[in-house]
Structure 1
């Protein structure tokens, strides 16, 4: 159950809580809606119940988006807190649905065009969204410097997954693009392992130079992948490359790379403010 807002730092204002809440819900609700659509497209014709459940989630998050549009940065924070609880319940429900689908795939109870890793990937993003809503309603609005490595591990793994999906969904004849996707997959796997190593070392200071270098290195790699995704999206929309990638999926993964860059910016600002 989400708790009442209790701002633990004087610098955190109520207006910031509202702004951050609306931003998180705006971004992640659209992602959840699109996940439901992509999953529905990957089921076989016989899985009518699973398809209907996915379509119900599309409708649910569309209603959340409609309600979101009635709020503004000047909205009553208590009303936003209640809205966060409603969205939290929806995000928890779609997380449970995704884990159910993953279980069916792993037990070979359904035959699906949805990769097991893709379903797991989408469930991790739902869990992330659930956690962000809990943090917001607990008064944790600003990025916490102690979470830098953990947050980067999460998003680096997301970027590595995207690279793998792109490589597998491109037509095999698109050899150069397939090779590029595989290279990105390898690079981001290495960044994940590097981040896990750094997490094991657990720097005691939130201002140690290695954290700045860690973010800078991640930024360079994410910018390269973001640009690759943008180029692929534009080519797919123009029907200039062969693939099984839905144009909306191409835009979806591009937006998530942009989100990661935004988060890197926020953590860099947090480190600067702690210096």
Structure 2
């Protein structure tokens, strides 16, 4: 295939070995994320929200157990065992998605006045839960999205996640941290623009599914994600060392850093599959 040919849209069947390794990778990463979401939501509830706090605590323990159980399996585990585990985890992800949407509804109808969970943060965490559950369904069906569709859709999803992170950091820093607040705002604007560009490419599909366009798309996104990851790393270190003023939980700082790392790994994986060339280090 030359660099100017359109990429085929054939379904990609997943082989058993890849099914097992990919399933375990997704569950190990996202179960930890879901566990931490439960903690962050709990910390944002009011003292009187005892039922919501209890539900959040329950989800924390559910995903903590899932995370622990996932490490009892390995790449030699039977695909049938993993398929059953995927179904169980997918149901847990569906349940926490429903919980998050319920909380969002309560916030937007002003039934939790004085709570500290931003509506966008709750929506953000629910989008990640939905992503997780859909990924497990896709794996159990034995199919992955065709490469061009996967590249575009994954980038649309993760670019918006990165834009949200920048907004949260900017709002949770103390207003007196003017330089850092400005940096966070600039990252937010940058990633909002990248989301718009990604959606433009998505709307131009299938004509936009060419190697040169997608390769440039990945390169441009990688540069911005690396910069944001470095910013998050610095912020995490400053928070851990108590060198800046904020209401950012140290675990939240690490949480958003790990998600940026995850996005970079996905970008690099796509570039290897797209061009057969190892991505350039930045």
1:197 equivalent to 2:203? Answer no
RMSD: 1.8
**Structure 2 CA distance, aligned partners of 1:73 and 1:159?**
30
- Output aligned runs, 1:26-65, within 5 Å: 26-65=28-67
- Answer with 145-154 or 198-207: which moved more: 198-207
Equivalent position of 2:79 in the other structure:
77
The question of whether the paired residues in 2 share the 8 Å contact of 1:206 and 1:271 is answered with no
- Output aligned runs, 1:1-275, within 5 Å: 12-111=14-113, 112-141=115-144, 144-204=147-207, 206-272=209-275
Deviations 1:211-233 (A, max 9, x none): 11011000000000000000000
The question of whether the paired residues in 2 share the 8 Å contact of 1:91 and 1:130 is answered with yes
**Structure 2 CA distance, aligned partners of 1:31 and 1:143?**
26
Q: Could you tell me how far 1:12 is from its partner in structure 2?
A: 4.0
**Structure 1 CA distance, aligned partners of 2:149 and 2:11?**
16
The question of whether the paired residues in 1 share the 8 Å contact of 2:152 and 2:201 is answered with yes
The question of whether the paired residues in 2 share the 8 Å contact of 1:149 and 1:195 is answered with yes
Question: Structure 2-normalised TM-score?
Answer: 0.91
Q: Could you tell me how far 1:63 is from its partner in structure 2?
A: 1.0
The question of whether the paired residues in 1 share the 8 Å contact of 2:12 and 2:144 is answered with no
**Structure 1 CA distance, aligned partners of 2:210 and 2:189?**
29
Q: Could you tell me how far 1:52 is from its partner in structure 2?
A: 0.5
Q: Could you tell me how far 1:75 is from its partner in structure 2?
A: 0.6
Question: Structure 1-normalised TM-score?
Answer: 0.93
**Structure 2 CA distance, aligned partners of 1:217 and 1:40?**
37
CA spacing shift, 1:244–1:202, aligned 2, 3 Å = same
Q: Could you tell me how far 1:143 is from its partner in structure 2?
A: 6.6
What's the secondary structure of 1:240's corresponding residue?
coil
Can you give the 5+ residue segments of structure 2 that lack an aligned partner in the other structure? 1-9, 277-282
Deviations 1:115-137 (A, max 9, x none): 00000000000000011001111
What's the secondary structure of 2:143's corresponding residue?
coil
Can you give the 5+ residue segments of structure 1 that lack an aligned partner in the other structure? 1-7
- The runs of at least 4 aligned residues of structure 1 exceeding 6 Å deviation read 8-11
